Amino acid sequence: MSHRIIPVDPFDLVIFGGTGDLSRRKLIPGLYHRDADGQLPEEARIIGCARTDLDREGFRALARQAVMDHVAADHRDPQVVERFLARFEYVTNDVADDAGWDALRVMLEAASGPRIRVFYLSVGPSLFGPIVEGLHRHGLSQGARLVVEKPIGHDGPSAAALNDTIGAAFDESRVYRIDHYLGKETVQNLVALRFANALFEPLWNARHVDHVQITVAESLGVEQRGPYYDRAGAMRDMVQNHLLQLLCLTAMEPPHHFEANAVRDEKLKVLRALKPLSGHEALAASARGQYHGYADEAQNPDSRTESFVALKAEIGTWRWAGTPFYLRTGKKLRARLSEIVVTFRRTPHQIFPDLDAPLAPNALIIRLQPDEGITLSITTKDPGPGGFRMRETPLDMSFGARAGTAWRMPDAYERLVLDVVRGNQTLFMRRDEVEAAWAWVDPIIAAWEASGATPEAYDPGSDGPYGALDMLSREGRRWRVLTP
Ligand code: NDP
Ligand code: BG6
């Protein structure tokens, strides 16, 4: 399959936290693939910035290791690797003090010609504010673009405060708040499915859709991120950003144009139309769980942090009133599986006699990972003479398989970093979206805290806590099974 390579202009990408996990696992490998595809201009530089005392060669060695560890052998071309590594520079800078900023300025001013300047904050969230202030104080923010990792704040007020700090140094048109789920191929395919086909739009509403399930299930636990995760929990780590963004793309009205502010305006309307949940209503519309063994991993024996959350969200619009959106995410579950399932209403009248069970409703399954693709589940007649038996038949589109074996599914970061250089904010969150998401999430967390209840325990490798199953069965529905 051929894909179009859109060249980008010369750029300097400064990665604060260039020595960290995200940089090594995602950013450096993603940039390597773009270089291998010929998309990076000759002048482009990648400048690592962290406290560790490294020189240019030391950082190139780190980048080489990142490529060896995270780029498949059949995609590693020795010539491209050398060309790629020659782009790397390094500045030692402890952003907590003022000493290292001049070195960064000297490095940036040594550029061979005019170029786009991007600062990527791949550091812990407590450093977002100090780095933005440092850039501003040292005159480096002017005209530059800023990429901010998640989490943006811990709640609405802290997100607003951080956004104020950012806004004092960077105009919103130069701020790129990353939600890497928006860079996933199938998430963009959801947009294509909805807005490049006439087929679904007439059915995409409460009259025809019974309910929507959005699942992001992980089989791994919190691993090395216990201390961060224990302060966040599944609600702040996953629901406030990734799951609500998926909900927005599923539920939003067609934007007048596939352009940053038009798309973000429509997503914002969805967030603002979410029925507020607080107090008893929040408790009834949610379930929380914590897997056995979590407290040890998080190094907090008294932890009340949820590693699983399920929620019923309702959108108060003409299109969606009466169609619940069920959200579910958790760690250490039966399988790693992310999907959006749109279940349509049953046929209004059953004409086939003698069926053993009611006909299954049609469902559209958008698989984000693994095995990216889309399945439409329809009912067909079982072949054979005599009688009229039915079965559910999947109309299956697997994107990986369709694209052929030579094709590689690009990682979300690969696209997003280059979108920043291209100046395309469509797949990034605007300030008001982030704050609207917190405005929905905060009262739910407050209700949990006020209840004094602890999250329900669940077994690693299971489908999550009983409370989540109960939440749906009370409404005569079932979660889709988490099949690996
Ligand atoms: P790491 O802890 O692995 O890396 C943190 C980086 O920050 C290191 O390079 C560290 O280098 C640098 N750093 C720490 N303190 C300072 C300082 N005072 N001055 C300059 N640099 C400093 O974190 P991750 O890479 O995992 O995460 C980075 C960000 O990305 C976080 O906000 C995280 O929430 C987010 N994120 C990460 C994901 C992942 O998969 N890892 C996924 C989604 C989001 P040094 O010690 O040399 O200073
Ligand atoms: C991150 C969360 O944003 O997304 C992690 O902080 C989570 O806790 C990760 O594991 C999941 O991303 P992906 O792309 O592996 O589904």
| Tens digits of residue pLDDT in 61-84 | 999 999 999 999 999 999 999 999
CA of 240 to the centre of ligand 2 (A): 13
CA of 328 to the centre of ligand 1 (A): 27
pLDDT at residue 401 in the model: 59
Residue range 395-437, pLDDT digits in tens: 988 876 555 556 688 899 999 999 999 999 999 999 999 999 9
Give the CA dihedral 294, 298, 301, 303, nearest 10 degrees.
-80
Residue 91 φ then ψ, to 5°: -130, 125
**CATH pick for 11-149 out of 3.40.50.300, 3.40.50.720, 3.40.640.10, 3.40.50.1100:** 3.40.50.720
Query: Pocket residues for ligand 2 (CB within 6 Å)?
Result: 150, 218, 237, 338
Q: Is 70 a catalytic residue?
A: no
The residues, ordered by sequence, that sit 6+ positions from 235 with a Cβ below 8 Å of its Cβ are: 306, 309, 441, 444, 445
As a whole number of angstroms, the distance between CA 170 and CA 172 comes to 6
pLDDT of 154 above 50: yes
The residues, ordered by sequence, that sit 6+ positions from 81 with a Cβ below 8 Å of its Cβ are: 32, 64, 67
The CA-based diameter of the chain, rounded to the nearest angstrom, is: 84
Q: Which residue has the tokens 């050398």?
A: 82
- Which of 4-8, 274-278, 468-472 shows the lowest per-residue confidence on average (mean pLDDT)? 4-8
Residue range 299-327, pLDDT digits in tens: 999 999 999 999 999 999 999 999 999 99
Q: Any idea which architecture 182-411+430-473 has in CATH?
A: 2-Layer Sandwich (3.30)
The residue-averaged pLDDT of 379-389 equals 84
The residue-averaged pLDDT of 214-233 equals 92
Catalytic annotation, pick one of 242, 257, 292, 349: 242
Q: How confident is the model at residue 357 (pLDDT cuts 50, 70, 90)?
A: confident
- pTM for the full model? 0.95
Pairing of strands 209-217, 325-330: parallel
Q: In this structure, what token pair is assigned to residue 44? A: 């482009």
pLDDT at residue 478 in the model: 94
Kind and range of the H or E run holding 435: helix 431-451
Q: How confident is the model at residue 5 (pLDDT cuts 50, 70, 90)?
A: confident
Q: How confident is the model at residue 384 (pLDDT cuts 50, 70, 90)?
A: confident
The residue-averaged pLDDT of 342-352 equals 91
Mean pLDDT of the chain: 93
pLDDT at residue 359 in the model: 87
pLDDT at residue 351 in the model: 87
As a whole number of angstroms, the distance between CA 231 and CA 154 comes to 9
C-alpha R_g of the chain: 24
Residue range 90-148, pLDDT digits in tens: 999 999 888 889 999 999 999 888 999 999 999 999 999 999 999 999 999 999 999 99
**Atom 10 (ligand 2) nearest CA:** 218
pLDDT at residue 3 in the model: 61
Cα angle at 474 between 291 and 219, to 5 degrees? 25
pLDDT of 1 above 50: no
The residues, ordered by sequence, that sit 6+ positions from 145 with a Cβ below 8 Å of its Cβ are: 116, 117, 118, 119, 170, 174, 175, 176, 420, 423
Q: How confident is the model at residue 261 (pLDDT cuts 50, 70, 90)?
A: very high
Which mutation among 51, 218, 224 tests ligand 1's pocket best, with the greatest number of atoms within 8 A of CB?
51
The residue-averaged pLDDT of 334-358 equals 90
Domain boundaries, the chain: 11-149, 182-411+430-473
